Amino acid sequence: MQRLDETSAHILLIEDESALRLTLGDRLKKEGYAVDHAVDGLAGLEKATASHFDLIVLDIMLPELDGFAVCKRLRSRGVTAPVLMLTARSRTQEKVTGLGIGADDYVTKPFRMAELLARINALLRRVPAARDARSDVHTFGDVRVDLRATEVTRGDQPVELSSREFALLRFFIEHPGLTLSRKELLTKVWGYHAAMFTRTVDVHVASLRQKIEEDPRRPRFLLTVQRLGYKFKP
């Protein structure tokens, strides 16, 4: 028996073998899922980035872009939908690699439909928890920020931030794409209620840029919005 909230889930199926894509797609639709599909890695990546899916079934051997690359790029673009990988039998390394780059589970080909459906149901049930856990880790460019562990790395090298810099970076990350005035940053990050220390914000932003931007004078992530403040663009 399917629960209503599960049956309405939207699944993206990225698989190049048309027979499997059709069989699987039909079966998922019969189970009540809304199913969209892509026939190669690049198309799958574009679809998964452009709209929301509750789950992505991702084959590893794909034309254009393999499943590993698709999964990696999805995660670095902030797509948090659970990913279920389809791996070839006996390739243990594939499973390990898949889970290491952000896949949530895998099923070995050839699989029994019942097993695949059980895994899909299990992943859909733990979506909220999985989302919470993952939302603590943010990546942009080669920078990785773990908010819960208060760890920042850049290209695998640890980045040392002061607690104020970390608080500032956290605030930017939690408000992506918004223009944040110096006054607001001071109030929210420093707790000051005066607008007289706005230079403080500039100094800290400059320091953060030194640490996380490739070219601090031409920042890609921490942008200046003329006369207004700053904006974080992951």
Q: Does 104 bind Ca ion (CB under 5 A)?
A: no
Q: Does 59 bind Ca ion (CB under 5 A)?
A: yes
Alpha carbon 190 to its chain centroid, in Å, reads 29
Shortest distance (Å) from residue 65 CB to Ca ion: 12
When the beta carbons of 59 and 104 are compared against Ca ion, the nearer one is: 59
Q: Does 39 bind Ca ion (CB under 5 A)?
A: no
Q: How far is CA 192 from CA 165, 183, 200, in A?
A: 16, 9, 11
Exactly one of 16, 36, 40, 202 binds Ca ion (CB under 5 A); which one? 16
For Ca ion, how many residues bind (rule: CB under 5 A)?
A: 3
Strands annotated E in the chain: 10-14, 34-38, 55-59, 83-88, 105-109, 137-140, 143-146, 151-154, 157-158, 179-181, 222-225, 229-232
Q: Does 40 bind Ca ion (CB under 5 A)?
A: no
By CB under 5 A, what part of segment 172-191 binds Ca ion? none
Shortest distance (Å) from residue 3 CB to Ca ion: 31
Give the helix ranges, DSSP H, for 88-197: 92-100, 113-125, 127-134, 163-174, 182-185
When the beta carbons of 40 and 202 are compared against Ca ion, the nearer one is: 40
* CB crowding 93-117: b at 16 or more within 10 Å, else e: ebbebbeebbbbebbbbebeeeebb
What is the DSSP code (8-state) at residue 16? Answer: S
State the binding string over 61-90 for Ca ion (x if CB under 5 A, else -). x-----------------------------
When the beta carbons of 39 and 223 are compared against Ca ion, the nearer one is: 39
Q: Cα–Cα distance between 205 and 145 in angstroms, integer?
A: 16
Q: Does 6 bind Ca ion (CB under 5 A)?
A: no
Stretch that binds Ca ion, among 55-63, 67-75, 126-134, 165-173 (CB under 5 A): 55-63
Q: Cα–Cα distance between 200 and 204 in angstroms, integer?
A: 6
Q: Does 94 bind Ca ion (CB under 5 A)?
A: no
Stretch that binds Ca ion, among 52-60, 63-71, 128-136, 179-187 (CB under 5 A): 52-60
> Which spans of this chain sit near Ca ion (rule: CB under 5 A)?
16, 59, 61
